[in-house]
Amino acid sequence: MASSNSKSKTLKKLVSNPLGRNIATWVSLGLIIFSMFAGWFTYSLVFYAELEKSESFEKQLVQTVQIQAAVGVFANNKTIVKDVIQGLLANPNIQWVRISSNDDFIEEQGKLIENSKLSRYALYSPVDNTEIIGEIHLLSEYTLINQEAKKYAFNLAGFLIIQTLILAIVLLTFVHFKLTSPITQLSLKMSSIEAGNDVRLEVDEIHKNDEIGLLCQSANQFLETAEKAIKKANKLARTDPLTKLNNRRAFFELAQSIEHQAKRYKWPYSLVLIDIDYFKKINDTYGHDIGDNVLVTIAETITVFIREVDIAARMGGEEFMIIMPETSATAAAILADRLRIQFSGLKIQADNSSISVTASFGIVDCDAEKEGISYYSILADKALYLAKENGRNRVEVYQHDIIQP
């Protein structure tokens, strides 16, 4: 009893599983096709074996009277011929008999069925037993059975072939909709994804719970994970790991977009270059951990003060840069001075004391129709150099008629 319950549970698990259902379906279809062909083949073997027996019996029956019939035909003796015919017709399986000679001597008796195929046996001369002098034409039940059997066998074969073709079409249609078509669509979409298109694999109700659906769901989960990983990697590649601002590469990529817009809409933009004063001294005196805290604090302060449209970046070391679209150098200088004052008021913990920080600013107003961002970053650096020369902790705006590039 326990074994029966165990088998029942195993069967339920197999049927409830999508893969199990598919295996059961394929095995069932395979058994049906095999059974059809096996049945037809077996029937054909048995049927034709019986037909061969009937033909053999008919030949034996004819052979018993073949010599007597040949004598009657050779002697042109109708009495002998009629006796042979009546002897054959005495067998209930014989329906009709005709004995004929080459000289048109014909004698026949019985009931002939039209369009039926007759059995023919040659009559040889009783003198030399080589010359054909006539024939026995015979219609027996065995002949009819033979004809009907062959006809039935061919009809059965045709029916089974047609049935098999129909089943094959149904099977191919099933395979197409359940397997081939979804896999083709899956392959095309995966190719589209490989080409860089943002595609998600859709799962319809038919394939929601089968292997195709599970494969699509797994692929979508993989794509989402890969997409998140790629975005994270791109962000890390464009972000300064310490300050979380844009790095130098990301800054110039974003600045290119602002430059194109400025050129298209003919509005100005400004660059603000910031350098922390005496930063090397801070590192040497308090250590690099304190220096890192200074950089992070400066970056956080910049992020708070700039607008959403402005882009800030750590360019390397203690240098930061801000690009301000639709902003003149005068307006940029106002923001820079606010930042300078805010920096001066910062108190950063260093061991048991706190340190103050100042910064110098170089500003240049940019005309996108004249020069590119690389050129104006050089001018901003020259303005910053002038701020350092003039005592640090100050803002200098590049003056095109005073400072020469």
> Is residue 216 located within the same domain as residue 313?
no
Distance CA 309, CA 358 (A): 25
**Quick check: is 189 in a domain?**
no
**CATH label of the domain that carries residue 372:** 3.30.70.270
Average pLDDT value for the chain: 79
The amino acid at residue 21 is: R
pTM for the structure as a whole? 0.50
> Is residue 126 located within the same domain as residue 261?
no
Percent of the chain with pLDDT over 70: 65
Best-predicted range by mean pLDDT among 95-109, 344-358, 369-383?
Answer: 369-383
Looking at per-residue pLDDT, the higher value among 68 and 114 belongs to: 68
**Quick check: is 360 in a domain?**
yes
Best-predicted range by mean pLDDT among 20-24, 41-45, 123-127?
Answer: 123-127
Write the pLDDT tens digit of every residue in 384-398: 999 999 999 999 999
Q: How far is CA 198 from CA 195, 213, 230, in A?
A: 9, 19, 13
Looking at per-residue pLDDT, the higher value among 264 and 172 belongs to: 264
> Is residue 323 located within the same domain as residue 342?
yes
> Is residue 108 located within the same domain as residue 211?
no
Distance CA 136, CA 343 (A): 130
Question: Which of 126, 145, 164 is the endpoint of a domain?
Answer: 145
> Is residue 249 located within the same domain as residue 390?
yes
With a cut of 90, say whether residue 28 has pLDDT above it: no
Could you give the angle at the alpha carbon of 329 between the alpha carbons of 327 and 333, nearest 5°?
105
**Quick check: is 18 in a domain?**
yes
> Is residue 20 located within the same domain as residue 139?
yes
> Is residue 94 located within the same domain as residue 219?
no
> Is residue 233 located within the same domain as residue 247?
no
The amino acid at residue 94 is: I
pLDDT band at 30 (very low <50, low <70, confident <90, very high): low
Residue 1 has what pLDDT? 53
Residue with tokens 């995966």: 190
Residue 280, judged by CB atoms within 10 A of its CB (0-12, 13-18, 19+), counts as exposed
With a cut of 90, say whether residue 350 has pLDDT above it: no
Q: What is the DSSP letter of 394?
A: S
Listed in sequence order, the residues at least 6 apart from 26 whose beta carbon sits closer than 8 Å to its beta carbon are none
Q: How far is CA 261 from CA 254, 338, 372, in A?
A: 11, 27, 12
Best-predicted range by mean pLDDT among 82-91, 182-191, 247-256, 343-352?
Answer: 247-256
Listed in sequence order, the residues at least 6 apart from 315 whose beta carbon sits closer than 8 Å to its beta carbon are 248, 251, 273, 321
> Is residue 227 located within the same domain as residue 316?
no
Mean pLDDT of 75-79: 86
With a cut of 90, say whether residue 400 has pLDDT above it: no
Residue 305 has what pLDDT? 94
**Enzyme catalytic residues:** 318
**Quick check: is 61 in a domain?**
yes
> Is residue 294 located within the same domain as residue 231?
no
- Long-range CB pairs of 392-395, under 8 A, 24+ apart, other chains included: 392/277, 392/278, 392/358, 392/360, 393/277, 393/340, 393/344, 393/358, 393/359, 393/360, 394/340, 394/360, 394/361, 395/333, 395/336, 395/337, 395/340, 395/360, 395/361, 395/363
**15-29, 256-270, 356-370: lowest mean pLDDT where?**
15-29
Question: Count of CB atoms within 10 A of residue 325's CB?
Answer: 20
The amino acid at residue 140 is: S
For residues 98, 100, 106, 112, the Cα torsion angle rounded to the nearest 10 degrees is 20
Helix, coil or strand: residue 292: helix
Closest CA to 47 of 141, 138, 120, 147: 147
Distance CA 121, CA 23 (A): 58
Residue 293 has what pLDDT? 94
**Quick check: is 128 in a domain?**
yes
Looking at per-residue pLDDT, the higher value among 139 and 293 belongs to: 293
With a cut of 70, say whether residue 120 has pLDDT above it: yes
Distance CA 11, CA 6 (A): 9
**Quick check: is 216 in a domain?**
yes
* Domain interval for residue 217: 200-237
Residue 321 has what pLDDT? 97
Q: What is the DSSP letter of 117?
A: P
> Is residue 230 located within the same domain as residue 376?
no
Helix, coil or strand: residue 321: strand
Assigned token pair, 90: 């005495």
With a cut of 50, say whether residue 15 has pLDDT above it: no
> Is residue 378 located within the same domain as residue 267?
yes
**Quick check: is 162 in a domain?**
no
Residue 19 has what pLDDT? 47
Distance CA 206, CA 257 (A): 47
**Quick check: is 403 in a domain?**
no
Q: Where are the beta strands (DSSP E) in 34-164?
A: 94-101, 106-110, 119-124, 132-140
Q: Are 285 and 292 in contact (CB under 8 A)?
A: no
Q: Are 259 and 253 in contact (CB under 8 A)?
A: no
Give the count of domains, the chain. Answer: 3
Element (H, E) at 49: helix 18-74
